[in-house]
Structure 1
Amino acid sequence: MGSKPKRSTFRGRYEEMMITLRNEIITNIWEEGSYLPSESDIADRFQLSKNSVRKGLDLLAAENFIEKIPRIGNRVRKSPTGTTIKLGYYPSLIKEAQFQALIDEFHKQHPLIRINMIPMPYYHTNPTMKDYMESDNIDVMTINNWNVELFTNPDGPPDMLEPLAAKEGVYPVLNEPFTHDGKLYVQPFMFSPVVLCYNKNHFTENKVPEPDSSWTWDTVKKAAHQLSTGRDRYGFFFHLLSDNRWPIFLLQNNVVFNRGKEKGNNLELDRTSLKGSFQTLIDLSEEVFPPFLSENDHDVDMLFRQQKVSMILTSYFFLNMIEDVDFSYDISPLPYLGTPKTLVIVIGLAINKNSKHKQAAQTFIDFMLSHEAQLKLRQNTLSLPSLKSAAEWNGQVNVKQPERYFIFRETFPTFSYHTALNVTYSELEEIRQNMKLYLSKMEGLQVFSR
């Protein structure tokens, strides 16, 4: 019990003292009724001042680990009973956020709060995330800017989510999809814009200039033809029906679905701008790549990993899947159609309004949004932390990051959400179904007016 701490900073030494003393009490190294060493001994052990030790002991007393006996010492209480909270999470976060490592660290710092991890569906499937929350009494969960609509009432705020205090230092734009009437219901944890990812070796071999922010979709088509071998490699590819891909073309062409005053909630639109958006999709699918190559975004990512395609539309989240490839790659801002815009994917944390463990759930969220946890996310993954100080931290990382990793800072003005189209997620799904009919030339543009 006399070992010296390994951490060198004051904050690290203080945290180690708190973690160590809590664990020693819980594991009965210091039994109930016994006294902790003196403040001087604890200060020597953890290389802290007596004032810092006294502050930590006050916190242990507030947590009911010890009882302060005036002029005698700090007597150990009966080990407090812990709390278990259920965490609904996207399974992809295990890789994209090193989620398990973060939870392990949380357990070290908060031994009285245990996390029971429950995998959740990413898409609007049955059962939905809302169903899981209702049936499994989930206390805290990960929610992205698409799924948050499951908890949103048309005429009011999310009725199942607890209002949260906005975290200082988080990029303000990330709060937008989770805010209703000025109240935040989901705390942004990590994010990614959709970007163009490309195989640098293919560009070098074919003497094609690398992409930059001036590229349009016509530039992509030209480069794709130069990069394609005509046999075993396509120059450009993306999953055309992905909800995080095809809406980009509508956003870039400033398509907005308006609701007619005389027709209730019927959607109306400028067919000219919609036609221009879809024409770009048609040109790409007919001239550059076969749309039947993929069933989802993951298929596209794997084709890129296998060097079967030279350019793809992807996210920072996916970069974690190719971090170990043996070829050189990089990223670039999205090409544009009319206005430079890209879709942003934000994953946040929310608390069940009916949870019996709100305080423990809030403690977990506070940890995940702390600079310490956000910096671990930055250092050990290629995902973007929501905390600006962590996302823009430029030091030694434990992953191989692309040279242009920080282009997200330049593209903030282009960030958009699907809500800019003035449609809900369910309406967007209906538009996607109609788009398939239109792209197959089975229907005209009138199919989008209902």
Structure 2
Amino acid sequence: MTQALHIVGGGMAGSEAAWQAAEMGVDVVIHEMRPTVGTFAHQTGNLAEMVCSNSFRSDDDEQNAVGLLHWEMRAANGLIMTTADAHRLPAGGALAVDRDPFAEAVTAKLRAHPRITVTDEEVTSLPDDGQWIFATGPLTSAKLGEAIQAETGSDALAFFDAIAPIVYAESIDMSKAWMQSRYDKGETEEERTAYLNCPMDRNQYEAFIDALLVADKTEFHEGETAGYFDGCLPIEVMSERGRETLRHGPMKPVGLTNPHQPDVKPHAVVQLRRDNALGTLFNIVGFQTKMKYGAQTEVFRMIPGLENASFARLGGIHRNTFINSPTLLDAQMRLKSKPNIRFAGQITGVEGYVESAAMGLLAGRLAAAEILGRALPELPQDSAMGALIHHITGGAEAKTFQPMNVNFGLFRPVDGLKGGRRGRKDRYKAYTDRAKAEWTEWLAQS
């Protein structure tokens, strides 16, 4: 009888790791502290609960690195991707999911698997024996964080994640707002009208920026320095970088035509994306915030169409911790000082649901292979999976290591292709063709 694999954390990474290892024939125990021990951001005890956004970002597997990662995870029978596909919502070229049914489905599949056991207990130490994967994500408990810090001999790096608010659809004024995906992107009418748009003229935009700059915001504890991941900046921080920053970011007005005033081009547009299949909830895209609750309702109701908005959830901010993986982990994702322990997910220094689940997929397969005494072939560096894991386990500069999304900048160049914007489309296609071929071969040999 083979030994069991213990996985601490039932988020995206832990859920995917458990599924992959169990499908390879290894017994798995998932240690998920919720709902016994709650967190700031989670609202349920479900596994793989989505708390920041409901989007897996671009699903384009030829011109986008995260779309390529989607493809690789689907090819590996990834639980997270197959469940996301089953619960997808219209979102133009992105993959957005109905978050509650998604988490419920992942939870049901894992609990029903004959090789998986789920326990609601908090793990607060790093065991000396057995095979373990720690996938505790951005909200690692204080006690476990202390144990990790004690083992690694250095302070855990930390930054802050912000969450965007969610609005009840019935409270949105559709005489001012309209449904349209940017540039009418999508193959069906539903996809071409996947986003709800709220227009602003110049005066409304300037007043909105003024309000953001003076709004009451969450204060950090004494001695606490706020570092943010650039892909999840609070809108107040973006506005502090320049009055036009938001208008060239989440509020850019391009590719949209207001049917209420088709001859008037908006100065800025706030977009909302459907948050559930019923279409009763919409999240404000890119509007992560650290404003206090009272300030949020006042400022967001300045947006045309949201004057009487009712919020299902207001935004918020929480600490996110991650380890210095280039220093601490080997190429098998094992902690160098305790090789019986692997790390996976956001705590390794990847950013995003997809990247976290991808690292869980690899950690689960690597741990299961070790338990079964199987030697897996070397992971192809030119796949999206390989490029990402190579970055966090040695490719990145340890002194300046920060969380990273998957992107084509992590890929080795393809010989014979010219750089520059004109050659970008061909270059990206070459990256994805090479990655798909190498990933397919690796799966076949594994």
TM-score, normalising length: structure 2: 0.24
Task: Name the structure, 1 or 2, with higher relative contact order (CA <8 Å, separation 6+).
Answer: 2
TM-score, normalising length: structure 1: 0.24
> Larger Cα Rg: Structure 1 or Structure 2?
1
